[in-house]
Amino acid sequence: MRLISYDDQIAGYLLTLNSIDFIDILTIAITPQFQQQGLGRALLDDLLQRLDKNKVLSIMLEVRVSNVSAIHFYQRYGFELIDTREKYYSNLEDAKILRLLI
């Protein structure tokens, strides 16, 4: 888990699950009052810089189909849609599965 602070307050976090050859982003979240200030980019940039590129082949994540801003955020990093999980969330919303090849 990585925390990010702003003005001495916790502003967000990144939670990952490391596997043998990929990383699964479980959650990346920024408190609403701190959104649109580049903190999500800072968390993802930090993750990408810390990768052992000899071992990690990809990064995977799921995102709600309705979360268009998050989908665009990840696509700017080169994440690509590889599949959809139907009724993945508790409200039965589908999830897009995105992957970034390293």
Q: Helix H segments across the chain?
A: 39-50, 68-76
**What pLDDT, on a 0 to 100 scale, did the predictor assign at position 3?**
96
Domain residue limits, the chain: 2-101
**What pLDDT, on a 0 to 100 scale, did the predictor assign at position 17?**
96
Cα 59 to Cα 37: distance, rounded to the nearest angstrom: 23
**What pLDDT, on a 0 to 100 scale, did the predictor assign at position 52?**
84
Cβ proximity of 17 and 23 under 8 Å: yes
**What pLDDT, on a 0 to 100 scale, did the predictor assign at position 54?**
80
pLDDT per residue rounded down to tens, the chain (102 residues): 999 998 899 999 999 999 999 999 999 999 999 999 999 999 999 999 999 888 999 999 999 999 999 999 999 999 999 999 999 999 999 999 999 999
**What pLDDT, on a 0 to 100 scale, did the predictor assign at position 63?**
97
Taking the whole predicted model, whether its pTM rises above 0.85 is answered as yes
Catalytic positions: 62, 74
**Homologous superfamily assigned to 2-101:** Gcn5-related N-acetyltransferase (GNAT) (3.40.630.30)
Task: Give 52's contacts (C-beta < 8 A, 6+ positions apart).
Answer: none
